[in-house]
Structure 1
């Protein structure tokens, strides 16, 4: 799905659709990128997701905006209660069916570039499993937008899919097992690969394989 399009806009749209398929409880999604001092939505599943992004930009608060600045995922499972973003929560609840939100930072060559934004119409739907799946998708998305920014063609993205999938899975596993951010998980992979003189993709493959067999240490 991610690499079936021929244009960057097609790939961004596919990422949003993938979120609704792969992340439990996700009904809508958007990708917001920072360009200079401004944030812009480059893809969204529908007008509701687009509108919430607009709320965030206007209010200067929310999971998407905060995710760009902070490595840790930004999550509010029920906007009807006490929210970290009270003005945004009020606007969302009053004008949309969305009740839960998540934001995950996206990187281009380790630079803060944007956020993957996920929305649920069901209060409490965004649990640990949903956050884990979203973190893997966010890792894929960071790889994708980095390749696009470098001018890589879609065929290059397809060729790198296998190793990227394993790295994303390994990052998700480390985040869950060690309760760390995606940046910290990738740094663990990077440092360990240097220490054992093994490519990151090969190390990720070994980690995912050992976890599947119940031997992860």
Structure 2
């Protein structure tokens, strides 16, 4: 995570978690984004009751995926932001003291693992291969955004919004749509409806 953008998912425990991480990347909203931006945990024990006003697009899809509660913990060491650990569950309710302590311990362990991976990056490579994969996916998104600025005659911010909107409205991952743009299978023309 950067201070304002989802950097990419390093790993997800299951399909629902991967879907929700990709959704947050596509929408630019969700508990992961807020936890990273605000540098503090986001504890959402009842997504259906309160999530819609906070993250309308994310909440609808999360509920469809069977997620009832979400807890996001920023991974950082001092001022260095490494990412966010998102935990999802199918039942509503707050974390009890033991669960919260375990979640914080997992976040600390994840931070340690990320730092260890980076420390073990092969000589001559700026990132460990597992970390580089997440960064590479962002490169394709940036490249697609640049191509859309030319195709649709818009600025970078609007181009990214067009890419995100297309991914969301077609229920596709942001990276898959970006790959289609880069491969020239999808084009965004000026002032059209931006569909294939």
TM-score w.r.t. the length of structure 2 is 0.54
Equivalent residue for 1:88? 58
Pairwise CA distance, 1:128 = 3.8
Equivalent residue for 2:70? 101
Q: Give the distance between the partners of 1:110 and 1:77, measured in 2 at CA.
A: 28
Equivalent residue for 1:53? 21
Equivalent residue for 1:135? 104
Contact 2:3 2:37 in 1 (8 A): no
> 1:168-203: CA deviations, max 9, x gaps?
xxxxxxxxxxxxxxxxxxxxxxxxxxxxxxxxxxxx
Q: Which structure 2 residue ranges, 5 or more long, are not aligned?
A: 123-196
Q: How many residues matched?
A: 120
Structure with higher strand content: 1
Pairwise CA distance, 1:36 = 10
Q: Which structure 1 residue ranges, 5 or more long, are not aligned?
A: 1-32, 154-217
Pairwise CA distance, 1:71 = 2.3
> 1:49-77: CA deviations, max 9, x gaps?
00001111111111111222222111101
Equivalent residue for 1:63? 31
Q: Give the distance between the partners of 2:96 and 2:70, measured in 1 at CA.
A: 11
Equivalent residue for 1:78? 46
Q: Tell me: CA distance 1:35–1:70, structure 2 relative to 1, closer, same or farther (3 Å).
A: closer
Q: Give the distance between the partners of 1:38 and 1:97, measured in 2 at CA.
A: 23
Query: For the aligned residues, what is the CA RMSD?
Result: 2.5
> 1:28-58: CA deviations, max 9, x gaps?
xxxxx55995521111111110000111111
Pairwise CA distance, 1:136 = 1.3
